Amino acid sequence: MKSAEPTGAPVALVSGANRGTGLAIARELHRRGYRVAALNRTLLGEDWLYEIQCDLADPAAVDGAVGQVLTRFGRLDVCVTNAVDRTFATLAEMDPADWDRAVAVNLTSVFRIVRASLAAVRAARGSFVIIGSHAGTRFFEGGASYSATKGALKALVETLLLEERAHGVRATLVSPGAIANEDGDETPYKMATESVARCVGALVQDQPSDLVIGDIEIRPAQLPVPEISGIARLQHV
C-alpha cells in the first residue's frame, strides 16, 4: 500500500458518517487524534474528513472505496461500520427489493468492508467496531429486514473475533437502544449521538491490553411509559 500522506497519526474509517451517530463517531475519533475517512452516500465536504461517495449496496463500490482509503493513508487502525438501511413493513407487504437492499447495506457491506480492510487492520493490530442494534435480539412487528440483518451481525462479529484475535485484531459488536439520530430530537428517552460516540472512542482507544470486549449493549438511562407494540418497545429494555 502506497501512502500519499505522512503516516504518523492513526487512521479510522467510518461508514455512514454524514449525519447522526456516524458523524458523531467520526468527530469523536478525530478529537482523539485519528485521521478519519468516511464512506458516505451524501458528502459533507468538511476539511477534517476524507470522504468517498459510496453506495454500500454496491459490492464493487465498497471494495473500491476501501481501496482508495488504503491508498490515500497507507494504513488503517480502526474500522467502524455504522451505515444502515431502515425499511419497516410487514412480511405480507414487504417489497423484495427493500429486503435485498437491507441485506446489502446492513450485512453484506459490513462483510465487504471487513474483508477489504482486514490486512491493514491486522498490520496495525487494530480494531473493528460494528454497530448493531437492540433490534437484533428484540423483535417487533414490521421489523423483519432490520432485525434479521442486525441479528446476523452477532455471528459475523463473533467469528471475526475468533479468527483474528491471534493476529492482535479486536472486534466488538455494539448494540444500542434508542438513539436521538434526528436533528431536533430532544426526547429524554433516547441516547445522544455524542454519548454513543464516546463509547466507541473508549472501545478503540481505552481497552486494557489483556482483554477483548466482544459484544456490548448500551441503553438509554431513562425509560418512557411502556408502549404495547412496534419499534417503540425497544426503548423499554
Integer angstrom CA distances of residue 26 from 18, 29, 111 = 9, 5, 20
Strand order across the 215-218 sheet: 49-53, 35-40, 11-15, 78-81, 127-131, 170-176, 215-218
3-state SS, 22-59, equals: HHHHHHHHHHCCCEEEEEECCCCCCCCEEEEECCCCCH
Q: Which three cell numbers stand for residue 111?
A: 462483510
Out of 34, 50, 146, 189, the active site residue is: 146
Contacts of residues 218-225 at CB distance under 8 Å and 24 or more positions apart, as own/partner, are: 218/174, 218/175, 218/176, 218/177, 218/191, 219/134, 219/176, 219/177, 219/191, 220/177, 220/178, 220/189, 220/190, 220/191, 221/191, 222/188, 222/189, 223/189, 224/187, 224/189
Is 146 a known active-site residue? yes
Task: Report d(CA 112, CA 131) in Å as an integer.
Answer: 15
Q: Name the residue type at position 69.
A: V
Instruction: Give the count of beta carbons closer than 10 Å to the beta carbon of residue 70.
Output: 20
Which residues are designated catalytic?
146
